[in-house]
Structure formats: C-alpha cells, structure tokens
Structure 1
C-alpha cells in the first residue's frame, strides 16, 4: 500500500498504513521544516515475529497494549516491546484533503485502536477510540510515540498546569531520569501552595 498524504496551507502529514499506521513525515510547508525523526533503517514488512530493534525506529507510532515488553492479563499474554500496533497493518476508514481516519486491531490482545488526524491551521488534532473486541477484560496501556527531529536550541514548551517534567533516558546518556525543570512554587497566607509564574512564562525543556 503506498503512503497517504493530507495537507493544508500550513502542514503536510504523511502516513504508511502498511507499516503500523506510521506517521513518517510532518512538515511545515512554508519553510520545509521536518518535525519527525527520519528512519534509521529501511521500512520492512512487519510480521507477528518482528522486533522493534529491527524496525526503522523513526516517525510516529502508536504503542498498545503496552510500551515495554511485558506479560499482560488474562492468561499472561506476551506483549512485545512497543506493543503490537507498530507491526500491524492499518486500514483507512475515511480520508479527505485534511483528515485521515484509520484503525488497527492488536492480533493477540484483540484491542482495536481508531485514530483520526485532522489538520487545523498550524495544528494537528488527534482523536482516539479504543474498543475491546474480545470477550475478556484486558489490561492495557497506550502511548502516542512520536520521535521528534530536534536540533540544539529547540524547546518543548509545556502548559501552565504541568508542574514538572522528567525524562526517562536519552540516546547520548546526558539525561538519565533526572528532574529537568520545575515550575517555582510559593506558600501563601491561606496555606495553599501555588505556582508563582503566570501562564505566559511556560515551563520549557531545551535541547543543548
């Protein structure tokens, strides 16, 4: 199945339904800036035995029913690293110039994830729906898994209701789960602890 593209005047989004519904490119049209990490290896046809280390390791995947390899209930179901969906072919349910709706079902856990991506000016709106197609209750954990193309000086700006940010690891080993940033707080006369910075001073993580 060939790649599928949606675009508006600001953004262009590219997807490979066959390769786990991967969003492999997101570009700003006026500058050509690419926001997603390019593949580190060739795109390969995935199968039930594929391992994430052998994948392209780029772009934007969906992790379900877990991010890490684990044993899930019921029946101690073996969940592979990064879940099942990255190695499952997705189906396009609906598509237009600025919207792409797709879905895929985890072969083992029988969880179906539907994702609708809509371009809205310079933003992307994602809407997800999770359905258990099996007869048994399933434990699950979902994570959007975008790998961003970053350069020194780039920042991630977090909204005012985020108190702190932690990073699990980094490829360089520089970040090892240490607290990177914490919004200052102050105790007030009413006994409450509040952030002292208003929303126009967002918490930011800077790539050096």
Structure 2
C-alpha cells in the first residue's frame, strides 16, 4: 500500500496522485512537451461530512460519487456531501508496473479506479460495488479540472447539443480569466464521445462509450466563479446523469441503481498528443 505522493510514468506521460487526499491526481504531464494539463493547487479541504468544495478546492482530478452538489438523500438516509463522499479522504493505493490501483471503502459501497499508462494514453477502469443490504441509487461524475490557455480550441465530438440553465454555452475561443464567464451544461453522448482541447503544441482527448456513460457535462470557468476568488479552468465530465445532484438525477429518471452485492464497471481513456495542431 502506498503512502505519500504516488508518481507513475512511462516514456510519454507522468502522473502524480495523493492517496490520502481522495486519490486526487494532481499532475498529468505530457513528457513530449512538458505541459501539465491539470489545474494546480494545494491539498485544501476537510474530511468532514459538511466539507465545502469551493474555489480553493477546485484543482486536479477527483471522483464525484454518489452526488456532485450536496443534497439530502432519502435513499441513502443521510445528507450527501458536497462533491461526493470520496474527495479529500484516504484511499488505499497500490502501484504495479505501469498501473496504479486506488480503492475507496465507503459507507455502503466500494469504489475502485485503476489507471494504466499505455503509450500516450491513460486507460482508466472504474468499478463500484454495493456492499449494503439495500438498493442504492447514485450519480457519478469525473471531476478533472484542466488548465487551458486563452485562444485554445474546445473539441466536442460524439455529443449532442449542449444545454444549461442559461442556454447553450459560449464555446469558442477559450477566453482569459478577465472574461468573468462561467457556465455548466450537459448533453447526451451519441455512441462514443471524444472531447478535449487543441493547443498550439499539443492536445488532449477524453473518450468513452455511451453504453458506459450516456451523458457529458461541460464546466467552463473563465473568471466567473467563485465571486471571492475567480479561477480559470475547464472540466470535460463523463457522467451518468445530466444533473448537479442525486435528487435531480432521480427526478429526471437518470439515476443508476445498484442491488446488494451488484457491481457496475466503466472505462474512460485520456490521450495526449504533441504537435498535432500548429494553429492554436
């Protein structure tokens, strides 16, 4: 079992994660160009049930389960924590060759994430198991905050039209933190989603199948949130539901149910490419 920071790399990619802080991935570096694709920041947060996930916590790559926004859940018989049970809390982590296996033992569930480095890709396999005696619903969302540069291009292949509370998002170009803009929107995935950012010297793609994860969430923040300390970040979020919290997912009939002892598995792939788009 690993303790302290865990580093893993091959000839093309290097990652760092923190087992004691939600197994958060704090860096995702393209060794071809030296670019870290993740928003950097301190490990700032509480393990308590009433923890708040605000601007100081919004960095790196976390996993949100069984909700994103906090809510009172009748099915779980408790208040569900802001951004889920797992961020900022200890995970068991084991490294073997080019893979890191992270496991969270939750209240009524077990959650596993295995990251495999394969050439210029991260192959990320997930599994969740219901270890309680009752059926439980959940919402899962990957929460990977990317550090984009103004002028870079957003690529959204394999998804339908995005809609949010304020209508469709303003996608191009990526603006600076001075834009004072923030937007959250969702769409269905057609068959296979491939989304990401094209930069001048490198690009990133995140892909998954609709049969695994039928929805996509897009978070754009160019200085629009939070009001007391605006940040600059983008999140491409494979997700089980077009909803901010589990109750909203249930209202939309998009929750996923797990019977006692049942498991669900899915996969997300990251691909880092250098020098494929010179235009920026």
Give the TM interval when normalised to the shorter protein. 0.7 to 0.9
Say whether the 8 Å CA contact 2:50–2:81 is kept in structure 1: no
- Alpha-carbon distance, 1:75 to partner: 5.5
Show the counterpart of 1:9.
11
Q: Tell me what 2:117 maps to.
A: 119
Number of the residue aligned with 2:31: 29
- 2:159 is matched with which residue? 162
Distance 1:83 1:58, change over 3 A: same
| TM-score normalised per structure 2 | 0.57
Match of residue 83 from structure 2: 82
* Aligned counterparts of 1:34 and 1:131: Cα–Cα separation in 2: 32
Instruction: Report deviation, 1:111.
Output: 1.9
Structure 1 position 122, deviation (Å):
1.2
Q: Which residue of 2 aligns with 1:104?
A: 104
Match of 1:174 in 2: 181
Larger radius of gyration: 1
Please report the TM-score for the alignment, with normalisation by the length of structure 1: 0.75
Structure with bigger strand share is 2
Distance 1:165 1:203, change over 3 A: farther
Asked if 1 retains the 8 angstrom alpha-carbon contact of 2:156 and 2:195, the reply is yes
Distance 2:126 2:185 in 1: 31
Quick one: structure 1 residues 20 and 14, their matched pair in 2 at CA, closer, same or farther if it must change by over 3 Å? same
Q: Which has the higher contact order (CA 8 A, sep 6+)?
A: 2
Quick one: structure 1 residues 43 and 102, their matched pair in 2 at CA, closer, same or farther if it must change by over 3 Å?
A: same
CA shift for structure 1 position 164:
2.5
Residue deviations 1:61-94 (CA, integer Å, cap 9, x gap): 00000011112232642101101100321001x4
Aligned pair partner of 1:38 in 37, 40, 51: 40
Deviations 1:94-144 (A, max 9, x none): 42232111110233xx22110000111111111000101111111110111
Q: Is the 8 A contact 2:63 2:140 kept in 1?
A: yes
